[in-house]
Chain A
Amino acid sequence: NAGVTQTPKFQVLKTGQSMTLQCAQDMNHNSMYWYRQDPGMGLRLIYYSASEGTTDKGEVPNGYNVSRLNKREFSLRLESAAPSQTSVYFCASGVGGVTLRGGPQHFGDGTRLSIL
């Protein structure tokens, strides 16, 4: 089925460890996004990629890096995990393009990340 696929679904890390969250979409969308979801705060944008080859910071980029590997894939990396990064992470894609037209239209099922 077409959609946004995130891996892994669950992960537990120790403070200071690093890891990469993977995201792939098969809808030929131009734009991709990474959000974190925390209780009482809704969704906050970490990074986005308006189109292949570009990435930009969102509201809460500190402690994260991203790579737009190709049109399908957009990964999120935590270089040195901290307890404050415990959250549920969502990848999303949209038709978008340079203007991010239409915003995030399809979301993955999320990665639940715990940092001890």
Chain B
Amino acid sequence: GNSVTQMEGPVTLSEEAFLTINCTYTATGYPSLFWYVQYPGEGLQLLLKATKADDKGSNKGFEATYRKETTSFHLEKGSVQVSDSAVYFCALFRNSGGYQKVTFGIGTKLQVIP
């Protein structure tokens, strides 16, 4: 079946550090891949997405490249800020039985300290 693997964390970084949050997936066919962000006390917000291999999604300084050869979609940011502290979810969208179904990872908590 479909699955998404990411570390739960927390990942603790100092402000202005480089961020990588790993995401790997298992799926047949050609899924789309998404990153969502959840700030404390709020619901999830779509951060970025990539719909085919080698696509790069980007938003708010975050980037992720869809790597089919390594089945990965790692989230990166060059210089994190305290305001980036949140939980980040990797998600896989795949067409199955006429529906587009979503599988979420467990979420990785990021803590950025001043």
Residues of A within 8 A of B (CB): 4, 40-45, 50, 90, 92, 98-110
Q: What are 26 residue pairs bridging A and B, where the CB atoms are less than 8 Å apart in the complex?
A: A4-B43, A40-B8, A40-B106, A42-B89, A42-B104, A42-B105, A42-B106, A43-B89, A43-B104, A43-B107, A45-B102, A50-B99, A90-B43, A92-B43, A92-B44, A99-B95, A99-B100, A100-B100, A103-B34, A103-B93, A104-B44, A106-B43, A107-B43, A107-B44, A109-B42, A110-B42
Inside 8 A of A92's CB, which chain B residues have their CB?
Answer: 43-44
Going nearest first, the 4 A-B pairs with the smallest beta carbon separation are A107-B43, A42-B106, A103-B102, A43-B104
Q: Do A99 and B43 contact each other (CB < 8 Å), given the known contacts A40-B8, A42-B104, A43-B89?
A: no
B-side interface residues, number (CB < 8 Å): 21
CB distance from B40 to the nearest CB of A (A): 11
B102 touches A104 (CB 8 A): yes
Q: Is the interface of A mostly helix, strand, loop or mixed?
A: loop
CB distance from B87 to the nearest CB of A (A): 9
B52 CB-CB contact with A under 8 Å: no
B89 touches A100 (CB 8 A): no
Known A41-B106, A103-B91; further 6 A-B contacts with Cβ < 8 A: A40-B106, A45-B102, A92-B43, A98-B98, A106-B43, A109-B42
